[in-house]
Amino acid sequence: MKRLGLRAKFILLTSSALAVAFALIAFILVRSTSDSLRTSLTNESRSFATLSTDPIGSAFVLYQDSGRVRILQQIQKFTDLDSNITNVSVVDTTGKVLFSQNEGQPATVSTSQAESFKSVYINTKGGTPQRIISPYIDNTGGHRYSVVYEISSRTIQRSVRRAITYILVISLLSLVLTAVLLYLAVNNFLLRPIQLLSIASLAISRGDLERKIEVMSRDEVADLASAVRTMADSLRANITKLKEVDQLKSEFMMIASHNLRTPLTIIQGYLETMASYPLTPEVAKLVEIISANSERLHILSEDILTISQIEANHQLSADKQPVDLTAVLKAMGDEFTILAKEKGVSFAAQLPPESYKVKAAVTYLRSAIWNIMDNALKFTAKDGHVTLSLTKNGDFALISIADTGIGIAPDEIPKLFTKFHRATSTLQYEYEGVGIGLYITKLVVTQFGGDVSVASTLGKGTTFTIRLPILSQQTS
């Protein structure tokens, strides 16, 4: 889900609040206007009925037997003055229609309404006047007829619609203008300083330790900027110290690797020369042991160089080529058997008959796998067992190195693949190594498109699994 920034949240919140406020104002205005229009229509209609009832009633009495046209003319004079009156009828005191301006729409009036000496006002459910029944009182004070006025609400409806449209347009424009002005004000005085602080903090977190934090306000944002500035200064000092320490480590690694390679090359040369001479079994055994340990030192020096190269952004992809993983593991298993036998640890290599090919630099790949195998032997006591296996899972080859050693504490597992991590206090550490093997393994395996995982139980053993993508037939 996409993250909403502070500005977006402010706009959303402000817009919602303003929309609700303006909607409420618009509703009140529309309601008030509608009520005002209905009141105006009611007053106009009642005034019309009061003024026109006597003339219309008199015309009906005078011309009821012979002059419908004259009656219509009299009615028309008044209805022309008020377009809301759609029909005028004359009824007797029983409610019977005696005359209707529109014969197709005769009025329906009850007896009680028709015989009333007071005007009867009938409204719709919304309160809009619908009909007025006004009694006609003749000169003698008699009440024989009533005049019925049918009132249309079309005019008020049109007026209400116009009012609603006008109010909505004005409200919308006011809403937009208010939102823009409010946004500009808040943006300049609140959001922009926070944004500048955020940008500066992000730049510092990415390594731009010289980035300045400039906040001109004198409020909580300025206090926050001051706190971040202090934190940045402290971070700058700590990073400087860490860089110095890391530089010392890097120099140590480079010096150690170069100082190891030369004597190791000489030792291995002499060992090869000695192996060409006839030796007694005892001496040959000693030469074999020396050669194996010399090889371990050679691997250590190569590990240090590997770290130096990868950390210097040297990509191993240029050295990659198709590698027969099964053959590589078989050769490594043969070498490892000698070392395991010396320690009294049994070793088994469970390799498939078919070849699994991966794309890797064989030297670095051997180093990555050997580091785990060496750890398995290092942390497995005499009479323990180490197993090297190769299986396939989908498009990936799984290399597993399992041992019955001392195991790893759960809180140590997340730190296993960090540089110089030795899983315990250096003063109490009883095993050889400088804590770079697993770090190298992680670096190398990642360079080859794979990953490495670990499962362990204290006192029972550990299993490392390296997963590498298998080359397809076309690729290989």
User: What is the rounded distance in angstroms from the CA atom of residue 181 to the CA atom of residue 270?
Assistant: 86
Is residue 214 within 8 A of residue 192, CB to CB? The reply is no
Percent of the chain whose predicted confidence (pLDDT) is above 90: 18
User: What is the rounded distance in angstroms from the CA atom of residue 40 to the CA atom of residue 45?
Assistant: 8
Nearest of 6, 60, 16, 454 to residue 196 by alpha carbon:
6
pLDDT confidence of 237, banded at 50, 70, 90? confident
Biggest alpha carbon–alpha carbon distance for the chain: 160
**Helical H runs in 276-324?**
281-311
User: What is the rounded distance in angstroms from the CA atom of residue 189 to the CA atom of residue 180?
Assistant: 14
State pLDDT tens for residues 54-88. Answer: 888 888 888 887 768 888 888 888 878 777 888 88
Say which residue, 348 or 14, is predicted with more confidence. 348
Instruction: Decide if pLDDT at 427 tops 50.
Output: no
What's the one-letter identity of residue 296?
Answer: R
User: What is the rounded distance in angstroms from the CA atom of residue 382 to the CA atom of residue 161?
Assistant: 96
The pTM score is 0.46
State pLDDT tens for residues 361-397. Answer: 888 899 889 989 988 998 999 999 999 999 999 999 9
State pLDDT tens for residues 105-126. Answer: 777 888 888 888 888 888 878 7
97-100 sheet: strands from edge to edge: 97-100, 85-92, 143-151, 129-137, 120-123
State pLDDT tens for residues 437-449. Answer: 788 889 889 888 8
pLDDT of residue 317: 58
Bridge partner residues of 454 (DSSP): 464
What length does the chain have? 476
The helix (H) or strand (E) run that includes residue 342 is helix 325-343
pLDDT confidence of 426, banded at 50, 70, 90? very low
Bridge partner residues of 150 (DSSP): 87, 131
State pLDDT tens for residues 265-285. Answer: 888 888 888 878 888 888 888
Cα–Cα distances (Å) from 156 to 51, 161, 169, 467, in that order, read 22, 8, 20, 80
pLDDT of residue 218: 65
Say which residue, 331 or 177, is predicted with more confidence. 331
The helix (H) or strand (E) run that includes residue 160 is helix 154-186
| Domains observed in the chain | 6-160 (3.30.450.20), 215-314 (1.10.287), 315-424+432-469 (3.30.565.10)
Say which residue the tokens 């899972």 belong to: 393
Say which residue, 392 or 2, is predicted with more confidence. 392
